[in-house]
Chains A and B, each alone.
Chain A
Amino acid sequence: MRRFSELIQQLEMSNKTNDKIAALVDYFTEADDLDKPYVIAMFTGKKPRRPVATALIKQWAIELSGIPEWLFAESYHSVGDLSETIALVLPPANHKTNRKLHEWIQDLADLQGKDDDYKKQFIESAWNSLETQERFIFNKLISGNFRIGVSNKMLVNALAKQSDTESSKVMHSIMGKWQPWEISYADLLAGAHVNTDNSWPYPFCLAYALEAEPASLGPVTDWQAEWKWDGIRGQIVKRNGELFIWSRGEELVTDQFPELHFLLDELPDGTVLDGEILSVKDGQVQAFSILQQRLNRKTINKSQLNDAPIGFYTYDLLEYEGRDLRTDDLNLRRQLLEKTIGRLKTTNIVILSPVVSFDTWDELAEIRQGARDINSEGIMLKKLDSFYHSGRKRGDWWKWKINPYTVDTVMIYAQKGSGRRANFFTDYTFAVRDGDKLITIAKAYSGLTDKEIKEVNAFVVKNAIEKFGPVRTVKPELVFEIAFEGIAESKRHKAGLALRFPRIARWRKDKKADEINTLDDLRQLLQSTLS
């Protein structure tokens, strides 16, 4: 555990990718072999079931530290992280232990089903044997939430470097189904589990946003253009008589989309499709807000099936007749994809995402302006001779999105952030005008520089009107332009509508609070997306 705790400290201390990779390489060289698969599982978001409820952990920590509950709450507010607060307020450890990381994780898993007294005794004795930093790690193991700025890509690069394996192969191996207690580090990296697992998906190829003019990409004849769809990226795997649907979050979502189950009978074994899960009605792609009704539901009722029927717009073929096609060029993959889709008997659910034909970049720019009319987010550009890369790679795939919607709002509430931003007011609530009232429309916290955050923070401190716990009501004075990707009706929000991906685009220091948008402006926008 000590070695893992050291790793976490190193990862937190540095904001340079190379230093983090070096720290990970060192860790995977020096750490206990049995610990390593658990660390990979943790960093790739494989969460075990939570063995003890947060409320209980908190209650026991308060008891053990002998401070009143309100003082614990104040401390938590200042620290911004529950695991860390608990680690800091507890009295110092009274004995030492050398238990290894995987032993702690297994012990915690064994707590499932035990009674609260047993759990309490275990947790308290663990706290009493760990130093502050290790205690923090232990608390994080209970919650399973490790957010320490290690991306999948960074982890894969470190593992590849440490084991001298190609990174695409490593990414391949750590995806899919495996359990840290069943597999050794060496077998995991070698991909021993992969060949026996039918469900196993390929890492998605991801695109960067196109920032330059498309003309900088060279001759139009080198490129294929497609619509960029606003749905859920999905991969459909058919192998050995089994069908699996993976979402981009590397989550199996097969059961959520019964409309696609006909593929079990119609797709040949050894086929993997890449594309977008969308709501498609009467041949039209519907807005994301409609697809949303179908997401993350355990059961689906009839009206949902009626209102938001699922379609799959496919644009790539990764496996054909059991052969990995990723190192063939896009031209060939597209031909085989068209052939595969052409053989389906059911024709209106899995659809070839059309290729947009164009002769000049200017022409394509004009076509792109029509994206919103068909509920597309813009244009995807893919190089015709490109491979299917693992993850994000600059150069071959670009997304050329249409500009987001924007609305001018005024800030009415501010709240202190958490983590790095725990001591500053960084989370803001924004309102638009509705008659002579202000009505909340979005909450956002990204998009400002550290300098601007400090400036807004100073404003909040000076202009706070009321205090509700951590929230301050502030004088409606600062105007912010909020960018967003979509708009939907919402019964949960007072305004009756909700913005998708709201973020601060600009601080409009040039505007006054009476120049902001109105709720009617947004209602009109909503109507225009639904018709």
Chain B
Amino acid sequence: MALIQFTNKGIYCKQGNFYIDPWRPVELAVTTHGHADHVKWGNKAYLCHDLTKPILNQRLGEDLHIETLPYGKEININGVKVSLFPAGHVIGSAQIRLEYKGEICVVSGDYKTENDGISTDFEPVKCHTFVSESTFGLPIYKWQPQVAIFDQIRDWVSGNHDRNKTSVLVAYSLGKAQRLIKGLAGYDDLYVHNSIANLNDRFIQAGVDLPNTIRITADTTKDDLQKGIVIVPPALAEGRWIKNLHNAATGVCSGWMQVRASRRWRSADAGFALSDHADWPGLLSAIKATEAEKVFVTHGYTATFSKYLNEIGIESEEVKTQYGNEEEEENAELHADTEHKTQEGTA
């Protein structure tokens, strides 16, 4: 019997009686990482990496039953050996390794193969069955090394300073924001939106070595922001707040920025193809390194990517899941947050 099944609640391990990244409430949710499309509120218990716990507490609430594990340590759930390995996606992100009677299965969640210096470096794990994402599963997606992209971002910021523009970088609060902070530390003062600052505080409490940032408050002046670099989540990128800044120039940091049409669609002033997902060569090398006999392809270019894997002799199947909407989910969260505040304000 297969070690995992794809059900309408999420990925289920019958032998262990738990789910991995379920989208409906269950008893035990083994969680790959803290993005909203992979972890929902309402599960009885959560199992995740040590550094994903502060994220869940920030996003879902303090009153949760959460067990944690460091990378590499194995526990036994109803006879299934469960351990976590670095996925390199965001801080705390993990591939879930399951072993039962010699059969090994790895559910990778979201992952990237380039070491970003802040999420622990991706570690390939040998297995029989591998579950892979395919967000950028087309050969047009080949990332430049992040060093080169950070150079481009610094050049852009310096050009903005020359023209008295305020540099606003648009990045997910979880993952991309911390990566930017690490990569741009010391270059300029970094001003971050509340949603990013809250997560940063949690990370620092949990012992993550994160460079200093400044939380944007009502007292922060537009002049301060113009002199530094502003980092905000996508929900704020097109809002009134940005229009009120001095001469804002927005730079979107996302793998989608690889393609001109997406750059223009986002109507940003600049696009940087900086992604927390594996690119085409990254997906292929990660999958080959697992030596898996069977690969399940979830969210992204699922049909295309699994067709290609089959053609190159790796047995593969596409699977429908509810993953892959991290931006929409994060935006919904923020909008709810903002509405909430407005209501408080008028009350």
When chains A and B are docked, how far (Å) is the Cα of A339 from the Cα of B258? 62
Interface 9-mer from A63-71, A107-115, A307-315, A394-402: A63-71
- Contact B304–A71 (Cβ < 8 Å): yes
Pairs A-B, 4 closest by C-beta atoms: A88-B140, A422-B261, A420-B264, A75-B140
Chain B 259-298 interface mask (CB, 8 Å, partner A; 1/0): 1111111011111000000000000000000000000000
Say yes or no: is A266 at the interface (Cβ < 8 Å to chain B). no
- Contact B139–A423 (Cβ < 8 Å): no
Known: A84-B260, A88-B140, A89-B139. A420 touches B265 (CB 8 A): yes
- Contact A75–B269 (Cβ < 8 Å): no
- Contact A13–B269 (Cβ < 8 Å): yes
Q: Which residues of A contact B139 (CB under 8 A)?
A: 65, 67, 71, 75, 88-89
Q: Report the contact-size class of chain B (Cβ under 8 Å from the partner).
A: 20 to 34
Say yes or no: is B311 at the interface (Cβ < 8 Å to chain A). yes
Say yes or no: is A421 at the interface (Cβ < 8 Å to chain B). yes
- Contact A422–B267 (Cβ < 8 Å): no
Say yes or no: is B138 at the interface (Cβ < 8 Å to chain A). yes
Q: Which residues of B contact A75 (CB under 8 A)?
A: 138-140
Name 13 A/B residue pairs within 8 A (Cβ), A-sorted: A12-B263, A12-B264, A68-B308, A74-B138, A79-B140, A81-B261, A84-B260, A85-B140, A88-B139, A92-B142, A421-B265, A422-B261, A423-B265
Say yes or no: is A80 at the interface (Cβ < 8 Å to chain B). yes
Say yes or no: is A97 at the interface (Cβ < 8 Å to chain B). no
Residues on A lying within 8 angstroms of B by beta carbon are 12-15, 65, 67-68, 70-71, 74-75, 78-81, 84-85, 88-89, 92, 418-423
- Tell me the chain B residues, 118-156 only, with Cβ under 8 Å from chain A: 138-142
When chains A and B are docked, how far (Å) is the Cα of A74 from the Cα of B141? 13
Q: Which residues of B contact A12 (CB under 8 A)?
A: 260, 263-264
Interface of A is mostly: helix
Cβ contact of A423, chosen from B141, B261, B269, cutoff 8 A: B261
- Contact B259–A79 (Cβ < 8 Å): yes
Cβ contact of A78, chosen from B140, B264, B268, B308, cutoff 8 A: B140
Shortest Cβ distance from residue B309 to the other chain A in the assembled complex, whole angstroms:
11
Q: Which residues of A contact B271 (CB under 8 A)?
A: 13
Q: Which residues of B contact A67 (CB under 8 A)?
A: 139
The residue among B138, B262, B301, B304 with the most chain A CB atoms within 10 A of its own CB is B138
- Contact B259–A13 (Cβ < 8 Å): no
Shortest Cβ distance from residue A137 to the other chain B in the assembled complex, whole angstroms:
12
Query: Apart from A13-B271, A78-B140, A420-B265, what are 11 other A-B pairs with CB-CB below 8 Å?
Result: A12-B263, A13-B268, A13-B270, A14-B269, A65-B139, A67-B139, A74-B304, A84-B259, A92-B142, A418-B261, A423-B265
Shortest Cβ distance from residue B235 to the other chain A in the assembled complex, whole angstroms:
16
Q: Which residues of B contact A14 (CB under 8 A)?
A: 269
Shortest Cβ distance from residue B189 to the other chain A in the assembled complex, whole angstroms:
25
When chains A and B are docked, how far (Å) is the Cα of A420 from the Cα of B141? 18
- Tell me the chain B residues, 16-68 only, with Cβ under 8 Å from chain A: none
- Tell me the chain B residues, 239-259 only, with Cβ under 8 Å from chain A: 258-259
The residue among A65, A75, A81, A419 with the most chain B CB atoms within 10 A of its own CB is A75
Known: A68-B311, A88-B258. A13 touches B263 (CB 8 A): yes
Q: Which residues of A contact B142 (CB under 8 A)?
A: 88, 92
Q: Which residues of B contact A68 (CB under 8 A)?
A: 308, 311
Q: Which residues of A contact B261 (CB under 8 A)?
A: 79-81, 418-423
Q: Which residue of B lies closest to A422 (CB)?
A: B261
Shortest Cβ distance from residue B129 to the other chain A in the assembled complex, whole angstroms:
24
Known: A71-B308, A74-B138, A89-B140. A419 touches B264 (CB 8 A): yes
Shortest Cβ distance from residue B213 to the other chain A in the assembled complex, whole angstroms:
27
When chains A and B are docked, how far (Å) is the Cα of A92 from the Cα of B259? 16
Q: Which residues of A contact B268 (CB under 8 A)?
A: 13
When chains A and B are docked, how far (Å) is the Cα of A12 from the Cα of B259? 12
Q: Which residues of A contact B307 (CB under 8 A)?
A: 70
When chains A and B are docked, how far (Å) is the Cα of A399 from the Cα of B142? 51
When chains A and B are docked, how far (Å) is the Cα of A404 from the Cα of B259? 38
Q: Which residue of A lies closest to B264 (CB)?
A: A420
Known: A84-B259, A419-B264. A78 touches B138 (CB 8 A): yes
When chains A and B are docked, how far (Å) is the Cα of A153 from the Cα of B217? 44
When chains A and B are docked, how far (Å) is the Cα of A422 from the Cα of B261? 6
When chains A and B are docked, how far (Å) is the Cα of A68 from the Cα of B265? 29
Shortest Cβ distance from residue A127 to the other chain B in the assembled complex, whole angstroms:
14
When chains A and B are docked, how far (Å) is the Cα of A80 from the Cα of B259? 9
Q: Which residue of A lies closest to B258 (CB)?
A: A88
Q: Which residues of A contact B259 (CB under 8 A)?
A: 78-79, 84, 88, 422
Shortest Cβ distance from residue B297 to the other chain A in the assembled complex, whole angstroms:
14
When chains A and B are docked, how far (Å) is the Cα of A18 from the Cα of B98? 58
Q: Which residues of A contact B265 (CB under 8 A)?
A: 420-421, 423
- Contact B267–A15 (Cβ < 8 Å): yes
- Tell me the chain B residues, 198-248 only, with Cβ under 8 Å from chain A: none
When chains A and B are docked, how far (Å) is the Cα of A71 from the Cα of B312? 13
Q: Which residues of A contact B264 (CB under 8 A)?
A: 12, 15, 419-420
Q: Which residues of B contact A419 (CB under 8 A)?
A: 260-261, 264
When chains A and B are docked, how far (Å) is the Cα of A25 from the Cα of B269? 19
Q: Which residues of A contact B301 (CB under 8 A)?
A: 74, 78
The residue among B259, B260, B261 with the most chain A CB atoms within 10 A of its own CB is B260
- Tell me the chain B residues, 290-341 only, with Cβ under 8 Å from chain A: 301, 304, 307-308, 311
Shortest Cβ distance from residue A30 to the other chain B in the assembled complex, whole angstroms:
15
When chains A and B are docked, how far (Å) is the Cα of A74 from the Cα of B280? 14
When chains A and B are docked, how far (Å) is the Cα of A13 from the Cα of B269? 5
When chains A and B are docked, how far (Å) is the Cα of A423 from the Cα of B140? 15
When chains A and B are docked, how far (Å) is the Cα of A307 from the Cα of B258? 53
When chains A and B are docked, how far (Å) is the Cα of A418 from the Cα of B259? 12
Known: A74-B138, A420-B265. A81 touches B260 (CB 8 A): yes
Shortest Cβ distance from residue A456 to the other chain B in the assembled complex, whole angstroms:
15
When chains A and B are docked, how far (Å) is the Cα of A12 from the Cα of B270? 9
Q: Which residues of A contact B267 (CB under 8 A)?
A: 15
Q: Which residues of B contact A418 (CB under 8 A)?
A: 261
Shortest Cβ distance from residue A134 to the other chain B in the assembled complex, whole angstroms:
14
Shortest Cβ distance from residue B239 to the other chain A in the assembled complex, whole angstroms:
15
When chains A and B are docked, how far (Å) is the Cα of A85 from the Cα of B261? 11
Shortest Cβ distance from residue A84 to the other chain B in the assembled complex, whole angstroms:
6
Q: Which residue of A lies closest to B140 (CB)?
A: A88
Q: Which residue of A lies closest to B138 (CB)?
A: A75
When chains A and B are docked, how far (Å) is the Cα of A34 from the Cα of B307? 49
The residue among A15, A71, A81, A85 with the most chain B CB atoms within 10 A of its own CB is A71
Q: Which residue of A lies closest to B144 (CB)?
A: A132
